[in-house]
Amino acid sequence: MQAINRQGEVFIAKVNELKSRHAEELLLLGQVENKCSRLFVVVTAILVALAIAMMLKSQSLFSPSFPIEWIRLVALLIAVFAFVCSWGHTLLALKIEAFPSANNQHASSMHRSSGFSHKVSSEDEEVLEKLSEAIKEKERNIGLAYEELTMGAWFMGITVAVSIGMKLLS
């Protein structure tokens, strides 16, 4: 009888540990999605501002005649491409997926009826592993978006520096 009680205590401890890990993973998922939504707003604002600036300066930007004007145009186009890629990776990170959830009621009824605690634990660990993989994929896309945002900022800086230099020299 003590062996059965001990086995039940071990099972309950394992289920509680899995619940705790599941709650931690869901908290991390919420933090990642919050970071992603903020980044999405920033990148969208940058793209809108860039589009407006390009429309206002389209006459001088898109009719290069000197090599320095070609450098400015190429730097601008690379910056736009990097910002668009950053926006795309942010959208990928925001993509809503069907996340698996732990089925604790199923676990406890299964333990009571047939004692398959090992099967329940492995199923719950598999759920946690899938959730962890989804979070890692979102974090990877956010990392790429930040890198592309940085690259776009550098090329935008080159564009602005060349434009200022051209104004000062003319």
Confidence of residue 91 (pLDDT cuts 50, 70, 90): very high
- The structure's pTM equals 0.75
Identify the pLDDT of residue 100: 59
The amino acid sitting at 111 is H
Label residue 77 by pLDDT band (50, 70, 90).
very high
- Token pair for 118: 């090992």
- 128 has a pLDDT exceeding 90: no
Check pLDDT > 50 for residue 107. no
Question: Are 83 and 44 spatial neighbours (Cβ–Cβ below 8 Å)?
Answer: no
Distance between CA atoms of residues 53 and 111, nearest Å: 65
What pLDDT sits at residue 98?
Answer: 66
The DSSP symbol for 115 reads: -
Which residues 6+ apart lie within 8 Å of 72 measured at CB? Answer: 61, 64, 158, 159, 162, 163, 166
Contacts of 1 (CB under 8 A, 6+ apart): none
- The least confident of 46-55, 83-92, 107-116, 157-166 is 107-116
Q: By three-state DSSP, how is residue 64 classified?
A: coil
What mean pLDDT, rounded, does the chain reach?
Answer: 83
8-state DSSP, 98: -
Instruction: Please report which confidence band the pLDDT of residue 24 belongs to, taking 50, 70 and 90 as the band edges.
Output: confident
Side-chain-facing half-sphere of 98: CA atoms under 13 Å: 0
Taking residues 114-140, report their average pLDDT: 77
